[in-house]
Amino acid sequence: MKIWAITDRSHWGFIEPRQEEQDHDRTAHDDHAPEKLLNELYAIEPTNEEIFIQKANIYSKREQHEEAVAFLKEALKFTEDFADVYNLIGMEYLFMDNLELAKENFIKCLEEDFEDQSALYNVVYCFEFLDQNQEAIDYLKTYVDRNPYSEIAWHQSGRLYYGLKEYESAKNSLNMELQRRC
C-alpha cells in the first residue's frame, strides 16, 4: 500500500509505508492467511477441536461443504461439546441440500443437548422438506417426553397437526404451548 502525499504543489509523490504496514497489508489480502495460522496452531496443539472447527468454517465460507464436514468429524474426536459440532455438521448438510443427513445430525445434537432450540427448529424443517410430517410429529412426541416445557416443540406439533388437518390434536398441542407460557 502506498500512501500518496503532496511533496510540493507541482507534483505528486509517495511515501513508502513502514515494514509493519506492508506486512499487515499483505496478510489482509491473503485469503489463506487464517488457514496458515491454523496449520501453525495445529503443529503446536493437534488435539484442539477449535482448530478443526475454524478450518471447517473457512471451507464452509468457500462453499466446500464436504471438506467442512470432514473437519467437523475430526473435531468430534477431540471435543467435549458434541452438541455444537453435530449442529454445525447438520448445517453443512443443509447447505448441501442433504436433508436426511442434516436431520440425523440435528437429532444427534438434540440427544446431547435437548434444549438446543436452533437444532429443534432445523430438525423439524428437515422433516417437513422431506415430506415426513407424521414422522416429525412422532419425533416431537418423544422430544416433549424429555422436555415437556418446550414451547417450541408444542407449537411445532400443533402446526404440523394443523397441516395434516388433525385439528383436535393441533388444538391440544397449541393449548399445551400456551400453558407452558403461563
Q: Which three cell numbers stand for residue 129?
A: 422438506
Q: What does the alpha-carbon distance between residue 86 and residue 150 come to, in Å, rounded to a whole number?
A: 21
Taking only the tens place, the pLDDT of each residue in 118-162 is: 999 999 999 999 999 999 999 999 999 999 889 999 999 999 999
Among 75, 77, 79, smallest CA distance to 92 is for 75
Q: Which residue ranges form the domains of the chain, and what is each CATH number?
A: 1-30 (no CATH), 32-181 (1.25.40.10)
Taking only the tens place, the pLDDT of each residue in 74-128 is: 999 999 999 999 999 999 999 999 999 999 999 999 999 999 999 999 999 999 9
Cα distances (Å, whole numbers) of residue 159 to 10, 132, 133, 146, 151: 74, 14, 10, 20, 12
Q: What does the alpha-carbon distance between residue 157 and residue 136 come to, in Å, rounded to a whole number?
A: 8
Q: Which three cell numbers stand for residue 149?
A: 416445557
